[in-house]
Structure 1
């Protein structure tokens, strides 16, 4: 039970609001549920120490980096954001001067540019034109022992990348020096990192990752936690899962098999202590929002129409495997799809197909997550009206706004009870779908009631 207070404080409480649908079979609403984040889908900010055993742990997949030539005092740039040559003529960095790492080994990487091509070797020097990396798009990043942000790039031809001039970057330098005058030396600045499931499994690699993940699944959430949650008034858990669970026990690399067994255990423990389970597809293949908790490799949102069938297959796997469980409360079809990258048309097609797949196995609730970003929170209402036993999940977050930092606990609770309740109320109607409100501040009342102390926080 070491990590439970951490989960409760930094994650969210989900409520099925009371409505005319108050009871279906033995599902009594509202449910009071805690999200078991960072268990079957990694979210590194919850326990960063999980990454400590990775060599070059600051250079994981999706790390965004910029490189300043020590000789020219200019930044490397994928001209036009990609599709042509790489130059070294920018006095300050922005999107075209930022590269996303794909980790090939502890020290070798592909570099993906703004328009999603990869840096590689070409007849006219270094360029970024290929959409899929090959050996010529793989570079060893050699770091100076006493200054880890001072780097050189060894190309597949065995020579080092150099900035010969502001408009000519080549991979033909054979000398070895760390002086500022050396055209092959660059200062690396890390501007953003990801710590998700892809990063931790690919970071440890196929030899170490299976044991690391198994140890985590066995210890992070245990039967004792379910006993504790039930004893303290929670009636359900929301468990995020990734698309790779459907291919257990041998999911595609770098993912590790075994998460379905952990989910099996969760259902057994929940049933023992009288709790329901909400399964949440948190990570769809190709990433529906680009966040680390979506299983993204490099932070790009790439889920689209072409991914609908394979995502429906994951939902069907979950419905077939767990639809027979008496304590299955709901299946959430996708967590936080982000607009405008995920279009309403594609999302609607997917939700329809996934709903039909679930109904072949169970009458559990189906949860439709509203899109984050510039989208109408009511845009799914017409779709939901054609379905039975559905809920729409809208997310209100207070933790990302500094305006709440100076408020007391009671003031935050009052804001939820007044403003957030009003926000949700504006989305509900007498005969409309259930609307779930997710947000950090809903936890404050629970924290107050349980009198969680700073001593408990030390365990996180």
Structure 2
């Protein structure tokens, strides 16, 4: 009986039923609920620490250049050679390398400001065996793998390494590193227990801050930061500037608040609760973004990795634990009118995060959200260093699913070693019989963005990014597309204010075509062009609300069936006429 009035409308109306305003839209899309596309800003550096956003957070940590994940190389002053883990680990530590690379690099696990474990390339830990030889064989660190770094007064790069037996490491020969040197030293170049350190990388994330300060001090530092870095006045500013949403990165430990696992500290959940209250007051939507997963989905500090290792998804336990976090967040905020979406995992990096483990998790994470809400969107971020289109078929099966891609004109290589010197492996590879050195030559990476002019960068967005976005946008609207991170920063030297304005505007124009919307990275940053607040206040970014479009989502369930039924009635009526 419900279909009779609809049939009469089809026959009598001079206009096609549910005529689309946009060419190419399907009948199902035309009946979907419409809401403004997302124009958001990410609250990066707030509930998940990133040191480059606010470096002063780390100022009070003793020896803050020796945090978890700091990568050190040790050169024996007596042998003029670097320490190395043979075969990357699993055997002896030697002192025979003229040039350092991966096997000659040691990652710190900080115990306190002077005491550490050393993790090698193959993920084993340096220790001392019963004969006093220094080896890298332990898969987990214990007392035999715990060392003290003793720095020379006035020269922090010159160190001695005290072993668990109380004696110091020494490079007796190039093939023998032992823990048997006495306390005595003159720090001279003839002392085999003296090493010069070279720090090649460091991390400043949540793990480094909490473990560096210790729980009591970290709790004080972070709670003050959470209280002052983002406030209600920021939500008022966001709403008045023409934005309609915020993307809030959170870490997995928030689900265990107020007593998360060490070294993390509680309190971020209360800050997130405040954000929802402010969002409701200022009519803003929230995308809750899981930015750091247990085991770390990428090696970067924003994943809260301890030492740059990427272990998320390698075991089912990490996936199950991550699903529990999503379930917690969806359950807690499902009833809030400001919950727009839950983003399942920021920036999973290929190949460490495999497509198989990621799709398994996305399916489980989607179900966890749907247990609590049918209306919230579920964001499925694409893998870094992989084809953005690989998830299209998978994500397209789910109702109100969103594919998240990140577009920057800054990073010139997808892989860590892509921009390294091709000759760096010559000496190493030359030791092996029938070894071949493989190099790849492309006109794609090679610091390409470093050489582009302002006009070329703008044209790259207009042409290449438009094409990239079109490649992940399907006509049937499944999945929706979201440029989850972009920024009006580049590597153009001497760019004018007008150049920045044009660069920001072309990105808004192009990314505004994403069917879900976009989010700028980020609201506040000591680096001005990364701060959307600074960019708006200083006239670099202008938001034109008249350009805002609507999200067009295909309807679901019963609504979809009714629309398909209406479509069949329309076809029958047209044929009858």
Question: Normalising by structure 1, what TM-score?
Answer: 0.90
Return the alpha-carbon distance in structure 1 between the equivalents of residues 536 and 328 of structure 2. Answer: 37
CA deviation string 1:98-126 (max 9, x = no partner): 00000000110000000000001113401
Deviation at 1:453, TM superposition (A): 6.5
Deviation at 1:209, TM superposition (A): 0.5
The unaligned stretches of length 5 or more in structure 2 are 1-24, 413-446, 490-502, 509-531, 541-577
Question: Which deviates further from its counterpart, 404-413 or 170-179?
Answer: 404-413
Return the alpha-carbon distance in structure 2 between the equivalents of residues 259 and 379 of structure 1. Answer: 34
Matched, 1:127 2:139: no
The unaligned stretches of length 5 or more in structure 1 are 1-18, 455-460
- Aligned pair in 2 of structure 1 residues 324, 382: CA closer, same or farther (>3 Å)? same
Match of 2:109 among 88, 102, 111: 102
More strand per residue: 1 or 2?
1
Matches for 1:327-406 after TM superposition, within 5 Å: 327-363=338-374, 364-373=376-385, 375-401=386-412, 403-404=448-449
1:283 alignment counterpart: 292
Return the alpha-carbon distance in structure 1 between the equivalents of residues 233 and 219 of structure 2. Answer: 24
Q: Is the 8 A contact 1:22 1:30 kept in 2?
A: no
2:496 alignment counterpart: none
CA deviation string 1:212-257 (max 9, x = no partner): 0000000000000000111000100000000000100000111010
1:440 alignment counterpart: 487
Return the alpha-carbon distance in structure 2 between the equivalents of residues 352 and 426 of structure 1. Answer: 23
Partner SS state of residue 214, structure 2: helix
- Aligned pair in 2 of structure 1 residues 219, 241: CA closer, same or farther (>3 Å)? same
Match of 1:80 among 87, 102, 108: 87
Who wins on radius of gyration, i.e. which is larger? 2
- Aligned pair in 2 of structure 1 residues 228, 408: CA closer, same or farther (>3 Å)? farther
CA deviation string 1:145-178 (max 9, x = no partner): 1100000011111111111111111111113211
Return the alpha-carbon distance in structure 2 between the equivalents of residues 152 and 38 of structure 1. Answer: 36
Deviation at 1:411, TM superposition (A): 5.8
CA deviation string 1:40-87 (max 9, x = no partner): 001111111111111110000000000000100010011110111111
Question: Normalising by structure 2, what TM-score?
Answer: 0.72
Deviation at 1:419, TM superposition (A): 2.6
Question: Which deviates further from its counterpart, 44-53 or 432-441?
Answer: 432-441
CA deviation string 1:301-342 (max 9, x = no partner): 111242110110010010011111111010000011111111
1:9 alignment counterpart: none
Partner SS state of residue 263, structure 2: coil
CA RMSD of aligned residues (A): 2.1
1:263 alignment counterpart: 272
2:255 alignment counterpart: 246
Matched, 1:50 2:57: yes
Deviation at 1:417, TM superposition (A): 3.6
Q: Is the 8 A contact 1:119 1:129 kept in 2?
A: yes
Aligned residues, how many? 435
Return the alpha-carbon distance in structure 1 between the equivalents of residues 125 and 89 of structure 2. Answer: 8
Return the alpha-carbon distance in structure 1 between the equivalents of residues 453 and 89 of structure 2. Answer: 48
Matched, 1:297 2:306: yes
1:31 alignment counterpart: 38
